[in-house]
Every structure is written in structure tokens, then in C-alpha cells.
Amino acid sequence: MKTINIAIDGPAGAGKSTIAKMVSKEMGYIYVDTGALYRTIALFITENNIADKDIESSLEKADVSLKFIDGAQRVFLGSRDVSDLIRTPEISMAASRTSAIPEVRAYLFETQQKIARENNVIMDGRDIGTVVLPNADVKIFLTASAEERANRRYKELLEKPDCPTYQEILDDIIKRDYQDMHRKTAPLKQAEDAVLVDTTKLNLEESAAAIVKVIKDKI
């Protein structure tokens, strides 16, 4: 049976994961966060101090997998659930660097396609509509201004110890956008047939409603 595939791409901090989770609940689809896969590879490389020249040959030992526990995605390195460990600024930046390596992208490609073949999915990332699921039923490019994305992230982190400054967060976002958009392999860009949703002036509920509307208009 053909599955329904919804691709959501966009820059860091546009709210893709929060909004895609809300939409997937409403539609009854599985939500797949592909950034978590790149973060897990980055954690593997960081923990094992793997030099750039050895990354390709070490990938077969990485053993990265996804599991859905009570409907929520968890990522594993071997049998270790690393879903929480990968959410640090260091791993964000390391993921942006390692995701530019073509062999890393090739290693994760089939994992992503297989989930989409077997399930109705809302998959978010940077190259889902352009590379991973070029025949997706609906493609959305979700974005917001860099300042608004930094502002949202700053508010989220404010309660935590060692909260970075607004400027540090903004600098990180701008740097990560640049790296993601200018790499040779599968750079972040809007697919020609993607619908652009700009959430700069929308709250979460309004953003989710805008996306549900795009999806329902198309399928």
C-alpha cells in the first residue's frame, strides 16, 4: 500500500519539530526527526574522537537506529538511547559539520527512505523534499527570520543553567544556516514544488494550523 509522505524542511530553530509533532498527532502520522540521526552520528564521532579522515571507514561501526516508543521517536547508538544526550549546542554545531560529509548522508539515506516506505510520515530535515523524498505528497519549507528563531530559542533556554546570551544563540543560528545552505551535498534549500510557510509572525498554534491547511488542501 502506498504510504503518505509529508516533507518539512527549513533552517535551524524554525520550529519544525514542535510544529511537525503537533501536526502528526492531528493527522495520525509518525513524526520523523532526521536531524536526530545527524546529531547521533556527531555524538559517535565526538565521543570516539574520530579524525575527519577516518569518519567514512568508522561509520559501519556506528550502529545508529531509530525506535518509536509510545509514538515518540528515540535514537540509539547500539543499545544506548542517546536521544537526550544529542541536544547540546556542541552537538548541534558538530552535526552541522559532519552532515556536510557525503558518506554520512549516504549512510543515513536508506534508514530515512525505509521509514517513509513503511509508514505515513511527517519527516523533517534539510533535504527531505529535495533529496530523501523527492516524490513526497506534500512539501513544506518552514522558516522564520534568524532574529525570531534566536529569540524563541533564548526564551526556551532562559531557565537553564549556563544559558547562552541572545547574541551567542543568534551567531550560532546564522553560522549553522550558512553551513547548511552552502555545503556541496544536499544543501538546505526550498524544493521547487514546496509551499513556503514563514512563521516569523505566527505562534505555534497558528503555524500548525497553517501547515495542516497546506496538507489538507493537497491530499
| 82 three-class SS | coil
71 appears as a binding residue in the annotation: no
In angstroms, give the least distance from the CB of 136 to ligand C5P.
13
Give the residue with the Cβ less far from ligand C5P, 72 or 213: 72
Helices (H), 49-145: 55-58, 89-98, 102-118
In angstroms, give the least distance from the CB of 99 to ligand C5P.
3
In angstroms, give the least distance from the CB of 21 to ligand C5P.
13
In angstroms, give the least distance from the CB of 10 to ligand C5P.
9
18 appears as a binding residue in the annotation: yes
Contact footprint for ligand C5P (CB under 6 A): 12, 34-35, 38-39, 92, 95-96, 99, 125-128, 176, 180
Residues forming beta bridges with residue 65, ordered by sequence position: 76
Give the residue with the Cβ less far from ligand C5P, 103 or 216: 103
For the record, the C-alpha cell of 42 comes out as 556527531
Give the residue with the Cβ less far from ligand C5P, 17 or 58: 17
Contacts of 103 (CB under 8 A, 6+ apart): 55, 56, 59
Give the residue with the Cβ less far from ligand C5P, 100 or 195: 100
Handedness of CA 160, 165, 171, 177 (dihedral sign): positive
11 appears as a binding residue in the annotation: yes
Closest CA to 56 of 86, 96, 101: 101
d(CA 178, CA 168): 15
> Which residues are annotated binding-site positions?
10-18
Residues in binding site for ATP: 10-18
